[in-house]
């Protein structure tokens, strides 16, 4: 069964988080499976020191320092992390996005990402915009729950 796709308007946000470069899924030397969980661990460790538990988080992907890499930032809204030190600020411009809902454990998320970027988007007719790509973790995300939802989003031109 193919994931549910949707069109959404992402609001402008000021986010804070921790970043690192990775080689994306679909390449034999992909490093996302190692790097991205480490970034989330670091972010949650910093939030825990302030007893903060945001209900909305996002993974923001931007071009890396080489053509083969992306920079991933594990983020929360700045307003959800008052007083947390060591986080870098990222301004998300917002705008139109097309997304797909990954339902299931994170172990199968790479297959959803491959389908979204290599099958769905090329035949969708959407033109990608020069904005960050997103993973949105809202109140439906519960690690370890097979009914957990993550929204994978690509910016598009309207």
Domain count for the chain, please give it. 1
61-72 pLDDT, tens digit per residue, is 999 999 999 999
Per the structure, the complete domain to which residue 20 belongs is given by 4-155
25-48 pLDDT, tens digit per residue, is 888 899 999 999 999 999 999 999
- For the domain that residue 147 is a member of, what is the CATH number? 3.20.80.10
Three-state SS sequence of 90-148: EEECCEEEEEEEEECCHHHHHHHHHHHHHHHHHHHCCCECCCCEEEEECCCCCCCCCCC
Interacting residues of 58 by C-beta distance below 8 A, sequence separation 6+: 15, 75, 76, 92, 134, 135, 136, 137
87-137 pLDDT, tens digit per residue, is 999 999 999 999 999 999 999 999 999 999 999 999 999 999 999 999 999
Q: Which burial class, exposed, middle or buried, applies to 43 when counting CB atoms under 10 A from its CB (0-12, 13-18, 19+)?
A: buried
């Amino acid at each position: 069964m193919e994931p549910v796709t949707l069109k959404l308007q992402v609001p402008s946000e000021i986010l804070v988080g921790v970043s690192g470069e990775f080689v994306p899924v679909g390449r034999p030397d992909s490093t996302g499976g190692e790097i991205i969980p480490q970034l989330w661990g670091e972010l949650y460790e910093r939030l825990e020191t302030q007893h903060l538990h945001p209900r909305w988080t996002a993974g923001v992907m931007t071009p890396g320092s080489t053509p083969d890499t992306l920079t991933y930032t594990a983020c929360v809204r700045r307003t959800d992390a008052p007083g947390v030190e060591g986080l870098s600020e990222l301004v998300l411009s917002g705008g139109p996005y097309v997304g797909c809902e990954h339902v299931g454990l994170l172990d199968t998320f790479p297959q959803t990402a491959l389908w979204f970027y290599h099958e769905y988007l090329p035949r969708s007719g959407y033109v990608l915009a020069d904005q960050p790509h997103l993973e949105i973790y809202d109140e439906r995300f519960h690690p370890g729950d097979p009914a957990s939802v993550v929204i994978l989003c690509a910016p598009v031109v309207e």
